[in-house]
Amino acid sequence: MTDYRIQGQTGEWEVVIGLEVHAQVTSHAKLFSGASTAFGAEPNTQVSLVDAAMPGMLPVPNRECIRQAVRTGMAIEAEINRWSRFDRKNYFYADLPQGYQISQLYHPLVGEGQLLIDADEKAGIAQDKVIGIERIHVEQDAGKLMHDQHPTMSYVDLNRCGVALMEIVSRPDMRSPAEAGAYVRKLRSILRYVGSCDGNMEEGSMRADVNVSVRRVGEELGTRTETKNVNSVRFVMQVIEYEANRQVDVIEAGGSVDQETRLFDVATGTTRTMRSKEDAHDYRYFPDPDLLPLQLEDSFLDECRASLPELPDAKRRRYEEELGLTPYNARELTAEVETFARFETLLSATASATGKPETKVATQVANWALSVAPGVMKSVGEEGDAANATAERQAAILAMQDNGEISGGQAKEIFEIVLREGREPAEIAETEGLKQVSDTGAIEAEVDRILAENEDKVEQYKAGKDKLFGFFVGQTMKAMKGKANPAVVNQLLKERLG
């Protein structure tokens, strides 16, 4: 796999990407007021006097929001600043009642950290890569303007105003749309593991400002543009692709890239100028005099650290090293919170159903969870009910398969019936006759009959034609209507054929 390059008229260009991800902090209350943060409420029903910036109102930091940001910082192995401070970012807009956003410019809560994106041949990421994270700071979200409610007026909804955001600023360490996509996915995964952000990009809980520049390979960094508020992984990748090509075209046509803020147009997949450098705001940042500096105690940090769950990279390592899963399976199972949660529940249920340690059944469970079960569910489609597929039922199927009562094929058939009808696997196996025959007597009879009917082939086998062993197995299985335990069949044939 070669590096991602833009092929220009005059040669190859390298793309340099940095991302600022705004992640809404999971908290019932806003960053500086007690108002609720639930999504989708009627406009202006979740607004406190503080959010509306009534005269004399004051912000008071919400400890839970700070805690979540600190935990997030710890999850990316970042330096946590025990002393940080809030600054005011001043600008006028109707969705910003205070006339300033409370943010952290000079002394952010979280300092240098890093995030590992995994090698993914298919996506064009040749090897694991560490992406630097410069900082995470905490800030208020703004409200929302609605321009379609009145012919001449704009309406303001302040429900979102004051909700806590983490701004997670990467280093310009990414070099392709794929890497940026992997970064956002991995970051989202970590946030969801930690529980500090629900990662719901459609609802705007996570959005990215995408910084892109291009340069000749090995040369100095070019001028960057910043495309604001991109709200899906796919769009982030589209923005990079479009911007990189646009910038190369501009430079190769003899122009220069303007440092500017741009907007992404979802409909056309293109970006356009939002405001140029000349129109850039002077935000007049200064320390918010309504708030004292944040000083974090050891006990608070200890509690944050102790409350962290096992994180994706550690979990993946453990799956490989302790459970013996393949790198692919380990990565797939740990990518999303829901996936590993389902896997671990099923693993535990299967271990107790088989009476074996988890390490002995992990591979079987992983294959089931990643390929067998999804395959069956897909083929059953709408006719099945996923709620029927409880961990206990799946574990029961896997246990029957493990002790040879049923074959792999039967396991699928039983699961299909479970999905459709919600019945118990043991009962299904019994009632539907979906069981392997391990009864040596019944199999022996068939084996002897088949060997007797094929004396010529037995001779050939004994003369050294080993391949014929498969023929005998096949004949036996066919005679047993596929229900014979293959292990027993193999063993009997070996005994007879010597």
Partner 1 sequence: MTDLTKLGVKAIRDGVRDGDFTAREVAEGFNAAVADAAALNAFIVTTPDHALAAADATDTARADGKQLGPMAGVPIGMKDLFATKGVQTTAASHILEGFVPPYESTVSQNLWDAGAGMLGKLNLDQFAMGSSNETSHFGNVASPWRKQGTNAAMSPGGSSGGSSSAVAARIAPAATGTDTGGSIRQPAAFAGICGIKPTYGRCSRWGTVAFASSLDQAGPMARSVEDCAIMLGAMAGFDPKDATSLKMDVPDWEATLSADLKGKRIGIPREYRMDGTSDAILDSWEQGKAWLKDAGATIVDVSLPHTKYALPAYYIIAPAEASSNLARYDGVRYGLRDLPDGAGLQDMYAETREAGFGDEVKRRILIGTYVLSAGFYDAYYNQAQKIRTLVARDFEQAWAQCDLILAPTTPTASFPLGSLDDDPLTMYLNDVFAVPASLAGLPAMSVPAMLNPDGLPLGLQLVGKPFDEQSVLDAGLAIQNRAGFDHAPEKWW
Q: How many helices (H) and strands (E) does the chain have?
A: 16, 16
Nearest distance from residue 284's CB to partner 1, in Å? 4
- Contact window for partner 1 (CB under 8 A) among 90-98, 266-274, 333-341, 480-488: 90-98
Within 346-385, which residues bind partner 1 (CB under 8 A)?
none
Q: Does 154 sit near partner 1 (CB under 8 A)?
A: yes
Cα→Cα distances 35→62, 130, 367, Å = 11, 38, 46
Three-class secondary structure assignment of 373-426: HHHHHHHHHHHCCHHHCCHHHHHHHHHHHHCCCCCHHHHHHHHHHHHHHCCCHH
- Contact window for partner 1 (CB under 8 A) among 67-75, 94-102, 305-313, 458-466: 94-102
Q: Which of 236, 166, 167 is nearest to 196 (CA)?
A: 166
8 A C-beta contact, residue 93 and residue 158: no
Given 63, 82, 275, 284, the residue binding partner 1 (CB under 8 A): 284
Q: Does 286 sit near partner 1 (CB under 8 A)?
A: yes
Q: Does 60 sit near partner 1 (CB under 8 A)?
A: yes
Choice between 154 and 403, CB closer to partner 1? 154
Q: Does 296 sit near partner 1 (CB under 8 A)?
A: no
Q: What is the DSSP string of 175-223?
A: -SHHHHHHHHHHHHHHHHHHTS----TTTTSEEEEEEEEEEETTS----
Q: Given CA atoms 114, 120, 121, 123 in this order, what sign does their dihedral have?
A: negative
Neighbours of 260 (CB within 10 A): 18
Q: Strand 11-24 vs strand 206-216: parallel, antiparallel, or unpaired?
A: antiparallel
Q: Does 58 sit near partner 1 (CB under 8 A)?
A: yes
Give me the amino acid identity at 91: Y
Number of alpha carbons in the 13 Å side-chain half-sphere of residue 366: 21
Choice between 145 and 487, CB closer to partner 1? 145
- Contact window for partner 1 (CB under 8 A) among 288-296, 323-331, 419-427, 461-469: 288-296
Kindly write out the interface string for residues 129-148 of this chain, putting x where it contacts partner 1 by CB under 8 A and - elsewhere.
Answer: --------------------
Q: Does 282 sit near partner 1 (CB under 8 A)?
A: yes
Within 408-467, which residues bind partner 1 (CB under 8 A)?
none
29 DSSP assignment: B
Give strand pairing partners of 153.
none
Given 15, 52, 180, 428, the residue binding partner 1 (CB under 8 A): 52
Choice between 49 and 116, CB closer to partner 1? 49
Q: Does 162 sit near partner 1 (CB under 8 A)?
A: no
Given 99, 269, 355, 474, the residue binding partner 1 (CB under 8 A): 99
What backbone phi and psi angles, to 5 degrees, belong to 160?
-85, -15
Given 59, 73, 108, 177, the residue binding partner 1 (CB under 8 A): 59
Q: How is residue 307 written in tokens? A: 């409350």
Given 291, 377, 442, 458, the residue binding partner 1 (CB under 8 A): 291
Q: Does 292 sit near partner 1 (CB under 8 A)?
A: yes
Nearest distance from residue 300's CB to partner 1, in Å? 17
Q: Does 49 sit near partner 1 (CB under 8 A)?
A: yes
Nearest distance from residue 98's CB to partner 1, in Å? 5
8 A C-beta contact, residue 86 and residue 102: yes
Q: Does 61 sit near partner 1 (CB under 8 A)?
A: yes
Q: How far apart are CA 203 and CA 267, in angstroms?
A: 18
Residue with tokens 């034609």, as numbered in its chain: 465
Give me the amino acid identity at 198: D
Q: Does 56 sit near partner 1 (CB under 8 A)?
A: yes
Nearest distance from residue 93's CB to partner 1, in Å? 8
Nearest distance from residue 295's CB to partner 1, in Å? 13
- Contact window for partner 1 (CB under 8 A) among 58-66, 196-204, 403-411, 456-464: 58-66
Nearest distance from residue 92's CB to partner 1, in Å? 6
Q: Does 386 sit near partner 1 (CB under 8 A)?
A: no
Kindly write out the interface string for residues 230-269 of this chain, putting x where it contacts partner 1 by CB under 8 A and - elsewhere.
Answer: ----------------------------------------
Kindly determine how many residues on this chain lie close enough to bind partner 1 according to the rule CB under 8 A: 30
Q: Does 90 sit near partner 1 (CB under 8 A)?
A: yes
Q: Does 156 sit near partner 1 (CB under 8 A)?
A: yes
What backbone phi and psi angles, to 5 degrees, belong to 411?
-55, -45
Q: How far apart are CA 196 and CA 70, in angstroms?
A: 9
8 A C-beta contact, residue 258 and residue 223: yes
99 DSSP assignment: S
Choice between 28 and 284, CB closer to partner 1? 284
8 A C-beta contact, residue 311 and residue 196: no
Neighbours of 423 (CB within 10 A): 15
Using CB under 8 A as the criterion, which residues of the chain lie in contact with partner 1 when the complex forms? 49, 52-61, 88, 90, 92-94, 97-100, 154, 156, 282, 284-286, 289-292
